[in-house]
Structure 1
Amino acid sequence: MKNFLFSRHRLEIFCLIFSVLPLTIQAQSQPHKITGTVSDNSGVLPGVSIIIKNSQTATISNGNGGYTIEAKPTDTLVFSFIGYKTQYITVNNQTKINVILQDDATQLQEVKVNAGYYSVKEKERTGSIAKVSSKDIEKQPVTNVIAVMQGRMAGVEVTQDSGAPGGAFQIKIRGQNSLRADGNQPLYIIDGVSYSSETIGSLNTSGMMPTMTSPLNSINPSDIESIEILKDADATAIYGSRGANGVVLITTKKGKSDKTVFSVNASTGVASVTKKLDLMNTQEYLAMRAQAFANDGITTYPDYAYDINGTWSQDRYTDWQEELIGGTAEINNLQASVSGGSKNTQYLLSGNTRLETTVYPKAFKYRKSAAHFSMNHTADNNRFKLNFSANYTAQNNNQPATDLTAVSRTLAPNAPALYDANGSLNWENSTWDNPLALLESEFFSKIKDFNANAVLSYNILPNLQLKTSLGYTDLRSNESNTQPSTMYNPAYGLGSEISGISNNITSRTSWIAEPQINGNWNLGKAKVEALLGTTFQSQITNRLFQSGFGFSSNSLIHDIASANLKAIDLSDEAVYNYQAVFARINYNYDSRYILNITGRRDGSSRFGPGKQFANFGAVGAAWVFSEEKLLQGNSILSFGKLRTSYGTTGNDQIGDYQFLDTYVSSGNTYQGTIGLQPIRLFNPEFGWETNKKFEAALEAGFFQDRIFLTSAYYNNRSTNQLVGIPLPGTTGFQTLQGNLDATVQNTGLEFTLASKNIAGNDFSWTTNFNISFNRNKLLSYPGLETSPYANTYVVGQSVNIVKLYHYTGFNPLTNLYEFEDVNNDGQITSLADRQTIANLSPKYFGGLQNNLRYKNLQLDFLFHFVKQQSFGYMPGVPGTAVNQLSEVSHQQLPFTSGANGEVIAAYYRYGLSDAALQDASFVRLKNVSLTYDIPLKTKDLKCQLYFQGQNLLTFTPYNSGDPEFKFSGYLPPLRVFTTGVKLTL
């Protein structure tokens, strides 16, 4: 009975198990929906691949990092993304799985970088390529694409021309190669289309800008996905004659395969001058003026000395810097985009508008609006692909034609008030020129720029692809500078008959077509890639510069037809045709030994017969020594590569028709016909500038690349310089455009260091540091002593030098500055005694960037530093009616009211002496970005708040204004603060 009961009990248990088991098995095998988000230490990650292990079921994360997938509890989800460690997570009974991917040092080497005509893995590149991504671009409240590179790239020196809205930037990649100031611009490529950086407009119409208008303002930073800088011969030789000064590759944003995503980004900000000069107050200024007249033996102040003879109040004080350039500019920016698509077709459409005012007393505005569209399509069989992108930008800029910065620093502190009791401009009985009257003269600029590109590719075989890149650009610029009669004192009785306008209209259109064939073959452990292509390009530039004078009314000043006197000062059309064939062969053995060979044969219409074609090429090699068996598996060195390159590139930045006999209208009429006059002589030997480049570099990663160091040495030599060769005056011409056997050398060292200091789920900290040392030298210049540049250049010195007097001290007996008489002839003369050399090139420059993240809060800041010297602020002879630095009142200086010619001559020699040099080195908190991702319950809406700052703090011994700024008397860079919100749905 006992055995029976036991058996019966056991039977019931078995029955229960067998009855439940099918239900359990069924539950375990039943798929259910799983949702979640994928992110890294910086934020959400779109495009992450989520696959059910050992199955074909997969999805990718959307633009918000979210995903949805159906899986069984027994399944394992595999999360993978290039540059991150793959994560495996068992589903179990979870319905929500959020994943934070960690950087994978080894995988980061697999990320591809854009090299122009081809892309290459970071690990396997043989050339020198620096990159800035959209993550860094979006953190900067700037409107010019060049500004985003400042302090972030080794070997890339960026300076700002003006703090005024629409101001240009100068960029030098590894120094100055050409003796011509306009021959050092890099080549710009936007989505495969070359973009001309040649200035538009005219110095006669540029107004307050120290340089002519740059077309690069048309590129909208908000539409940029990445910027790559190609620096060495291996990276630039494939661009041949246009790559001597480096290549800037700009890739715009593209759509992604996902659900439709809407994004709106709105910000508002303010800007002001970074630093005002410490100038004399009224008491210090009047004391200086009194001493100056006393030194000149003048006891009765002249009638025109209104500042000190009692005409103007002796107690009045105005901070003219505050009054004229101390305002607050407003900046408003709005960006909106929609993107989405399917597996085969993706699209992106975005629009942007930006409005900036100025720091001047009058309301001036700069408005820039842009639209961007891109579409990618892939056929179902993946053999045909189409990529299309288009950008359109419209700029309207209204600025004063005269920069008030100079007058704000020189005007007497007791000068009269700007307005009279009636609120009108105060002319104080014609005793001064009211500076606000200068604002009546205005600079107007309207620029419309269109850029489009299409890339069609077809895989005729699995390893053979045909591709064609087509591009078109169209730029229209219309700028004017007005001088109405209202800018003059009404007491002069001048009417609109003296009003004038200068107008410059420029149009530039170009097209480019580049058919290519690409192939790749695997030969055991070896891999071979080949590229062959051609380039056909044409550019037409039309310019019309005209002026008008005398209008019946100032309201008609923009209608030149209404002028009494009209003149066409320039009307021309320039055609630039360019053809080339290029090739690349890359041999890669076992991802360890890499050889890259590039070549290009160029033809340009800018050179004379027989000189229109030239060959350029380079060889690059790399050894990934960390792949050697001896070093594999060690815990310290995670990556190591040696690379080197040598090659030649060219420079054809000399303008059109420089080798031809050129004539312009003389403007003189003879027997009813306007004649022509020659301005340039024919030179059939006019050929290319050539730049020979050598580089050797070491890249090393330590502790799974948590510390990554790159060090590079380069030596570039630019020969066959295109300069003006002096001619005897009897020829009627000053120079002949031609090639000079002068050689300019740039050598340097570059170091970059990237470190992942802390990499946690809640907190992370990364640091990026770069520093560059460039040494520029003029190696040879035949006939320099008899050339117009004899007092400009010195063989063996930098091309960016000045020759100076050597200051020996102040003589209290003569009350004069004294200088070294180098040739001991008893006289101080410019040619003989200006022999002290001052190098104005930076000794080194770089940047330090840190990124800190704590959960949803992220802080990013960049310090930019430069070691350099520059001239101090010298507004005019101390003692004349020009305000000075406050420190001048405490120094023993030769003051004169203007009557002592010896003091005046000594002052100007002082300004051209080594005593006028100052240490202009600086460390600047260039950029700060603070963002906060608001945690919301809904997954479909993302909200980010941010604060951004530019040029916040500057540490420098320089006391003469902004140490970065190169143009004295013009508005320096501004300090900018912006706040904004970004919504993504």
Structure 2
Amino acid sequence: MKLTFFFLVIGLLEVHASAIGQVKVVNLDVKDMTLRHVFDELKRQTDLDFFFSNRELDMNSKVTIQVQKTDLMEVLSRLLGREYQFELLEGMVIIKPVFARDSVQVKSITLRGFVQDEKNQPMPGVTIQLAGTAVGTATDAHGKFAVKIPMLKGKLEFSFVGYKKQIVEFTEKTAKDTIRVTLQEEVVGVDEVVVRAYGTQNRKEVVSAISSIKAEDMKELPTANLMNMLQGRVAGLNIINQSGAPGSASVVAIRGFNSLLTDGASDGSPLYVVDGVPMHSFVSPVTGTNTMADIDPSMIESVEVLKDASAASIYGSRAGNGVILITTKKGRVGETKFSANVSYTASRLMASPLQTGGRLERWWEIQNMRHYSAPGNDNTIPGLVYPMSHSEAYKKFGEYDKFWGNGHGKVNVIDYLQDSLNPFFNNQTNWWDYAFRKGEITNANLQASGGSKRFTYMMGAGWFAETGIMNSSSYQRINVMANLSATPSEKLRMDMQLYGAYVDRSRNTRHALNHNRFEHMTVQPTKQSTLYPASREGVDAWLDDMNKTVDKSDDLRGMGSIYLEYKLFKGLTFSAKGSVDYSQGNRNTFTPSDLDKINHENKSEGNIMRSIAMSNEELLRYKLTLNEQHNFELLLGFNVERNQTYTIGGWGKGGASDYVYYYNPDLSVDVRDYGMLVEDWRATRSYSSSFTEKAMVSYFGRFSYNWKQRYLMEFTFRRDGSSTFGEANKWANFPSLGLGWAFSQESFMKWANFLDWGKLRASYGTSGQVFNDPYMAHGLMRVVKGPFQGESGITAGSAISPDLTWEKSEQYNIGLDLDMLNYRLKVKLDYYYKLTSSLIYSVPLPETILLVNKRTENAMEVSNEGIELELEADILREGPISWRMKFNASRNWNRFEKSYSKRDEGGMVIGRPLFGIYVYDAEGFYNSEDEVPVYYDIWGNKKYFGGVSCASPMSGKVGTYKIKDLNGDNMINGSDMYYAGTPQPKAHGGWVNEIRWKNFDLSMLFNYELGRKMINAREYTISTGPKFVDIANLSYWEKPGDHAKLARMGTATDVMMDSNIENVHAISLKQITLGCDLPAKWAKKISLKGARMFFTVENLFYLSNYSGANPEVIDVYKGVDFGIEYPLPRKMTVGLTLNF
């Protein structure tokens, strides 16, 4: 609170600064010092510029003076004598002789004017400077300026970030007119500044693989998650939206997947750094909310993706999966500017999948009846046996359906399937209408920024509310942010950043995001069908499951940091930063008693998790330039972090009422059996809690050198120590080296007139990855009930791993940057190879060791190798229409390289990608009984190959898959499955088009993925448990010789067959936006500085060869579509932005 008060006082004092700005006192104690150095010292103390003519003053003359707290004008008189006069004017001191040598007194003139952009919009904040001097001013909020110039002719320079500098000559006559200047937008070239770890860097000097996305590229997309905005915009950054649920998280991977998803280890996500502070980012295990969704995308200025080790290794043990830097908006000098944005979004299911109903469903039922074969008990042998013929079914089980001609009796359904007078005969209910609805999003935010030379500020507040397209799903967020910066003196700068967010989320059903939306959409009469005049029991149960179950969660997030920077002397700066990141998640679920079909008890469950991350960081930075050729930069840093997490949870059954969502054990309901109280049936309850803590200490540094920005070198080093690792491996070192050569600056490249800039980059570095479980290396204890003579005891829960250490990544990168045709075409090409070793895995142990059978060790290796391409082209730049195109493509080869046993392990095959799909080799179908390999065991049980019962779904029957025995052991089991591909895409990328005409603009973002292997499990399980999918184009085996897609109806077969694999390619129009900027003269009439209207459609369409729904939502780790994912909605947004 005291610091906040301090920043407010600084801002108020600055308002009054102009009234006392004329009083300047200085201290001098010099002997035989040149006037040049004396003026440098005066400038340092007063923050004023001194304007004079070198013809009038000998700057090499030496003076001696000693004064304390003396007025500046008096000091100047003592230094220069009475022959000179002094005038203090707008931040500068004009020094001129009382009488000029030509006996003509020097005069000053005042120049006035107006600055606008190419759209005739006024441009506030444009810098106007007298060429070669520090004399100048800036335009006001209306683009106007007035500046007093101590000469009668010269040149004025007009400059603004993102626009070409313009020079205007003036004379004494110019003062009588109004100067009108139109600035043209700058073609972004190599002088662009990019954000990097612990600072910024000129693009010319970058030797690492960094991709940058500005706020302008991410605006007007109706999403609460920043990661969704980055999808398809960065080469090597793969973002997959596996759920369309409000507030859900995306899978984010930089340059491939390198996590084994071991419990307690890293999940493969990159490190997020917000305004220089590593963010405590995760998907909450309590609420399931992605904490990245706490950040309002409208308050972000830019995002940088650090992809290679040279860029990321300075973050050491947390950078193994890459780093994403997020920079929020800051205040700027000038009067207060307000920006308000409001939008409304309507969302719908992209497409209702074709479904079975009416006549088609009736046909399917009839066919299924005809081909159904049910197993039954045979008293002579244990277990179930499938009848091999209709007559066998009748003889053994006394069941033979004469109507259908098979061993299956369902006479009660015949009338419903044959009676055309039945009103349900050709009914076709669209169950999707019951499950889904029109979703809505309301988004509003207000931002204010401004300030003076001494104090700047940016403050914002936002509200985001979304109701999902699936019933009972919603997400709301309220957030506030403040970025304050004070410069009390030329040497000292103080920043304070505050951010707060509150999130309220509801989810549908007790199945959370993975609700099987087809759970009760079957065509079986016990559920709900379109054919049978059954009661609404089935659909009511399904709707109750969605609507009666209460599942609400809320998250509170607060982040704050204080930054102090002090310039010790020229080029040397010391800074210190302290930050706190606090989050709390609460989740409460309630299931009413009528959804418990067995015990009829309601259930209330609650969980709370609190987490706090604290860090302090000190930096020492030194910059030096020699002879305007040799550029040096040295950075040294120290960081300490501490994290604490506390969780508490419990549940209770048998609450007092279904209308009271919280559980009180004193009010639990007694359970009676035939009127007798049964004490053991009282409501049960459970409680658990945990507390974890970890700390890390880091030392790091960076040294950069370049000669004329032509030959570049950068070396970084970090040493991390963490409490989570074993005693022998608490510390680790992470170095990197990057080299660059701007070959376009060489004399032998002068012939290449088309080449504006060309640079080769090469880097090598190491980084690491800590694991999430802070006690994995130390071993855990557990309480075992009853093994010690009936008493409970404490024993080892997990083995100690004293040698457990960091997961390490080594990465090589070679890059090429080309800017051509006057920066019309930009090309960035990168090749990389990354080896991630010491991956954490649970290694089996002899069962007699420490009562545990596994120990966590650094046991695996994974590699990622790939090529990335980024293109940016200004196809049309001059003229009334502008067209900018951006394209990126990534090809990654992921390989499992090594295991602890030097063999394949747990579904991971050496030389193959992680997360492979393993299937059986199906060689067609069994066409006759003679083809089915059947034998009898000693008990007379009929067996298929070596051990599979004929009653098993994997048993061989006529019309089922003929599965190849790959290992030749006469058994069909998991050992006969082989690797058939990976759900990871072979290639992915995006294509952006930005077109502008007058005040209108159109932008389109396409996203594509190629070569994902998938299995549509919904389609291939329809033969045994039909769900509402389209079966019109499915073919079933019916007779010998059929080349069908599926086995015969009524048979249960494993979906993991090689014939079911699909090689999926998909491209989608993720975003299209049409915007219109209100003309300046119209905005001015309604007292606005600017206004913009826009219309955006997200997920307009997708094109894919996949047989199911949108393949993007399918699990990228498993690749099997069970139809349980929350689909991605199509969103249509209208919005308005006002600047005032």
TM over 0.5: yes
Could you tell me which of 949, 966, 974 is aligned with 1:830?
974
SS in 1 for 2:705: strand
Code of the aligned partner of 1:679: G
Code of the aligned partner of 1:332: T
Q: Does the alignment pair 1:69 with 2:146?
A: yes
Inter-CA distance 606–931: structure 2 relative to 1 (3 Å threshold): same
Of residues 279-288 and 871-880 in structure 1, the stretch that sits farther from structure 2 once superposed is: 871-880
Partner of 2:78: none
* Deviation readout 1:487-526 (Å, 9 max, x if unpaired): 467xx8x75xx11122221100011111110111223321
Partner of 2:747: 629
Could you tell me which of 721, 738, 741 is aligned with 2:839?
721
Q: TM-score, normalised by structure 1?
A: 0.88
CA distance in 2, matches of 1:784, 1:428: 60
Retained in 2: the 8 A contact 1:744–1:779? yes
Inter-CA distance 835–892: structure 2 relative to 1 (3 Å threshold): same
Of residues 453-462 and 821-830 in structure 1, the stretch that sits farther from structure 2 once superposed is: 821-830
Partner of 1:49: 127
CA distance in 2, matches of 1:173, 1:103: 31
Could you tell me which of 798, 807, 812 is aligned with 2:913?
798
Q: Does the alignment pair 1:947 with 2:1095?
A: yes
Of residues 567-576 and 238-247 in structure 1, the stretch that sits farther from structure 2 once superposed is: 567-576
Could you tell me which of 345, 351, 356 is aligned with 1:280?
356
Partner of 2:857: 738
Code of the aligned partner of 1:945: M
SS in 2 for 1:216: helix
* Deviation readout 1:145-183 (Å, 9 max, x if unpaired): 111110000000001131111111110000112223643
CA distance in 2, matches of 1:673, 1:550: 30
Q: CA RMSD in A?
A: 3.2
Partner of 2:624: 521
Retained in 2: the 8 A contact 1:285–1:883? no
Retained in 2: the 8 A contact 1:282–1:413? no
Retained in 2: the 8 A contact 1:275–1:962? no
Q: Does the alignment pair 1:322 with 2:399?
A: no
Partner of 1:550: 654
CA distance in 1, matches of 2:415, 2:780: 52
Q: How does 1:756-835 map to 2 (within 5 A)?
A: 756-760=874-878, 762-783=880-901, 785=903, 787=905, 789=906, 792-813=907-928, 814-831=958-975, 833-835=976-978
Code of the aligned partner of 1:793: M
Higher-Rg structure is: 2
Retained in 2: the 8 A contact 1:622–1:643? yes
Q: How does 1:458-473 map to 2 (within 5 A)?
A: 458-473=566-581
Retained in 1: the 8 A contact 2:779–2:800? yes
Partner of 2:470: 360
Inter-CA distance 65–764: structure 2 relative to 1 (3 Å threshold): farther
Retained in 2: the 8 A contact 1:234–1:620? yes
Retained in 1: the 8 A contact 2:505–2:553? yes
Inter-CA distance 88–548: structure 2 relative to 1 (3 Å threshold): same
Q: Does the alignment pair 1:438 with 2:438?
A: no
Q: TM-score, normalised by structure 2?
A: 0.76
Q: CA deviation at 1:279?
A: 1.9
* Deviation readout 1:813-864 (Å, 9 max, x if unpaired): 4212223332344443221x21243122211000110111111111111111
Q: How does 1:831-910 map to 2 (within 5 A)?
A: 831=975, 833-875=976-1018, 877-883=1021-1027, 885-887=1029-1031, 890-893=1034-1037, 907-909=1052-1054
CA distance in 2, matches of 1:676, 1:314: 65
SS in 1 for 2:1114: coil
Inter-CA distance 361–455: structure 2 relative to 1 (3 Å threshold): closer
CA distance in 2, matches of 1:94, 1:906: 92
Q: CA deviation at 1:138?
A: 1.4
Partner of 1:983: 1138
Code of the aligned partner of 1:771: A
Inter-CA distance 693–962: structure 2 relative to 1 (3 Å threshold): same
Q: CA deviation at 1:800?
A: 2.4
CA distance in 1, matches of 2:871, 2:721: 40
Q: How does 1:212-611 map to 2 (within 5 A)?
A: 212-296=288-372, 297-298=406-407, 300-301=409-410, 313-325=424-436, 327-362=437-472, 364-381=473-490, 383-401=491-509, 402=511, 406-408=516-518, 411-412=521-522, 428=535, 430=537, 434-439=541-546, 440-487=548-595, 498-524=601-627, 525-559=629-663, 564=668, 565=683, 567-611=685-729
Seq. identity, %: 24
Retained in 1: the 8 A contact 2:507–2:551? yes
Retained in 1: the 8 A contact 2:612–2:645? yes
Code of the aligned partner of 1:367: Q
Code of the aligned partner of 1:457: E
Code of the aligned partner of 2:602: S
Could you tell me which of 176, 182, 198 is aligned with 1:99?
182
Q: CA deviation at 1:781?
A: 1.5
Inter-CA distance 104–557: structure 2 relative to 1 (3 Å threshold): closer
Q: CA deviation at 1:349?
A: 0.9
CA distance in 2, matches of 1:920, 1:594: 43
Q: CA deviation at 1:281?
A: 2.2
* Deviation readout 1:317-365 (Å, 9 max, x if unpaired): 211123212x110100110111111112100110000111122345x43
Q: Does the alignment pair 1:195 with 2:343?
A: no
Retained in 2: the 8 A contact 1:771–1:845? yes
CA distance in 1, matches of 2:514, 2:545: 8
CA distance in 2, matches of 1:61, 1:893: 79
Partner of 2:679: none
Partner of 1:23: none
CA distance in 2, matches of 1:595, 1:725: 42
Unaligned runs of 5+ residues in structure 1 are 1-25, 207-211, 420-425, 896-900
Q: CA deviation at 1:273?
A: 1.8
Partner of 2:1043: none
Retained in 2: the 8 A contact 1:437–1:486? no
Inter-CA distance 520–54: structure 2 relative to 1 (3 Å threshold): closer
SS in 2 for 1:501: strand
Could you tell me which of 145, 150, 166 is aligned with 1:87?
166
Of residues 76-85 and 865-874 in structure 1, the stretch that sits farther from structure 2 once superposed is: 76-85
Q: CA deviation at 1:677?
A: 5.1
Of residues 327-336 and 806-815 in structure 1, the stretch that sits farther from structure 2 once superposed is: 806-815
CA distance in 1, matches of 2:1099, 2:761: 36
* Deviation readout 1:916-967 (Å, 9 max, x if unpaired): 2223211111111221111143174311111122111111111211111124
Code of the aligned partner of 2:336: T
Count of residues in correspondence between the two structures: 924
SS in 2 for 1:685: coil
Retained in 1: the 8 A contact 2:528–2:536? no
Code of the aligned partner of 2:649: F
Partner of 1:926: 1070
CA distance in 2, matches of 1:215, 1:398: 16
CA distance in 1, matches of 2:899, 2:479: 47
Of residues 928-937 and 122-131 in structure 1, the stretch that sits farther from structure 2 once superposed is: 928-937
Retained in 2: the 8 A contact 1:481–1:502? yes
SS in 2 for 1:850: strand
Could you tell me which of 130, 145, 150 is aligned with 2:211?
130
Code of the aligned partner of 1:735: K
Retained in 2: the 8 A contact 1:947–1:979? yes
CA distance in 2, matches of 1:198, 1:378: 35
Inter-CA distance 46–637: structure 2 relative to 1 (3 Å threshold): farther
CA distance in 1, matches of 2:179, 2:1109: 58
CA distance in 2, matches of 1:734, 1:146: 40
